[in-house]
Amino acid sequence: MAVTKYLEEDLYKDFKTEYQDDAEFIELEDDDIEEPRTFNSISNDDDILQMYLKDIGKVKLLNSKEEKALGRQIKEGKKSQAELGLTEMGCEVVDIGQCGTEMIYFATAHLGLDGGIMITASHNPKEYNGLKLVRKEARPISGDTGLKDIEAKVMAGELGTPAEVPAKVIEVDIMKDYIDHLLTYVDMSALKPLKIVVNSGNGAAGPAIDELEKRLPFNFIKVNNNPDGTFPNGVPNPLLMENREATAKVVREEKADLGVAFDGDFDRCFIFDENGDMIEGYYIVGFLAKAFLNKNPGAKIIYDPRLTWNTIELVEEAGGVPVMCKSGHAFIKDCMRKEDAVYGGEMSAHNYFKDFSFCDSGMITWLLVAELLCQAEGKMSEMLKERMERYPISGEINSTVADAKAVMAAIEEKYGSTGEVCKMDGFSVDYPEWRFNVRISNTEPVVRLNVETRGDKKLLEEKTAEVLAVIRG
């Protein structure tokens, strides 16, 4: 099996995370107002946010007369504070207004800016806020590429002085250019009038969906489409079981062809088939990989170690090169650039595209799925049924434990000499008919388990229970 593997240092062990330990933003919490200004402990209060953005503007990494794109998910009150904190230190701001995180990625690269800041807490509750930071070409600012440097300078008080004349703020509407770019990923002539339920979760996706609606032949049934930072219909996290039914119910009632649900800042989307069943992100990776390889023969495809067999098989059958990379957006993006991969996907529903500055996009993902559905002339459930039966999975199972390191040691002792071991991301073991991956959460005493088999659902249940017994004692 010709599988390339890629690994770097664990950049994120000290940081809170957006989704299953993929550190993407700095959290800001109301309860932390009285705590020291560390990256793990920053207030949601406007004054503290302004002060923090001033600190970011003062350090050399984000200083000088560079231009930064600035966007926000919903919360209007943060705009003036962010602009003031940056411009006071001489950093020119290109304000693109309310947007999704991927629009910051797009604006930073498309407008040739020096960096970008997205004010968002993604799918987290309304009490939270945070920042996602990128540099030129929308490259992530992560633990080894600036985030820790910023923290060190702020904590050491190594800050500059305000500029004699504050820098300017330029308001730019990038929506048209962004929508134009999204539509380059699909063959418009192949699209058919599908009925699609779209649940924006009262997050930031609604305005983009409204603009796409004008250009596409689809019949949209829009749910929770208006942005509302109070999240009156629940937090925009489609992974929560109680939130899935909001989309699934409408899909069934409307007899829709497809359902799409976004998280708050819409860098991830979750796909529902015509029966209202949510499709695991793992299967979407292989689905899209095959489509990209049809257009890019021999290309490299990035995947993460948690679930692998379906992706590897589809990529190799299509003549591509599967490249394994540690999960987490900064790892994946860096790996894609180094490998010049055309596409990368994680089971967590983050999908990355070479022509989108190697960044993740929820909008591109669902557009590609819809295009494939139009071309297949079948039902969504039928398109993935065979793959789901061929490689059934447990779904990610989280266990709260007293001592996560001790649990990992017990797992390694029991399974470490019995199969093919990989420690790229947690602890994985492959056997002829089944495999599993266990990982420790970076932020809480939780161990995460994923199991898959070669078409044997009974074995899946047995081995899942077996590994869980070790984890839970």
Q: Which of 84, 68, 79 is nearest to 134 (CA)?
A: 68
Instruction: Match 């993006």 to its residue by tokens.
Output: 333
Asked if 98 and 74 count as a contact pair (C-beta separation under 8 A), the reply is yes
122 among known catalytic residues = yes
Q: Which helix (H) or strand (E) holds 410?
A: helix 404-415
Sign of the torsion angle spanned by Cα atoms 86, 88, 92, 94? positive
Neighbouring-strand partners of residue 132: 118
At position 6, the amino acid (one-letter code) is Y
Show the tokens assigned to 295: 């257009």
Q: Sign of torsion, CA 150 154 159 162?
A: positive
Buried b / exposed e over 141-178, threshold 16 CB at 10 Å, is: bbbebbbbebbebbeeeebeeeeeebbebeeeebbeeb
Rounded to whole angstroms, how far apart are CA atoms 431 and 84? 57
Q: Residue with structure tokens 């050491």?
A: 156
CB 62 within 8 A of CB 91: yes
Which residue among the candidates 122, 142, 327, 428 is catalytic per the annotation?
122
Helix then strand then coil, in percent of the chain rounded to 5, is 40, 20, 40
**In whole angstroms, what is the distance from residue 117 CA to residue 26 CA?**
11
How far apart, in whole angstroms, are the C-alpha atoms of residue 419 and residue 412? 11
Q: Sign (positive/negative) of CA torsion 411, 412, 417, 419?
A: positive
Return the biggest CA–CA distance within the chain.
70
Helix (H) / strand (E) element for 250: namely: helix 241-254
Q: Which residues, in sequence order, are CB contacts of 125 under 8 Å at separation 6+?
A: 231, 235
In this structure, the dihedral spanned by the alpha carbons of residues 235, 238, 239 and 243, taken in order and rounded to 10 degrees, is 70
Q: Which of 121, 122, 78 has its CA nearest to residue 97? A: 78
- C-beta separation of 335 from 323 below 8 A: yes
List phi, psi (to 5°) of 63.
-95, -160
Residues 215, 181: Cα–Cα separation, whole Å? 12
Residue 56 DSSP SS3: helix
- Paired residues of 51 in beta bridges: none
Active site (catalytic) residues: 122
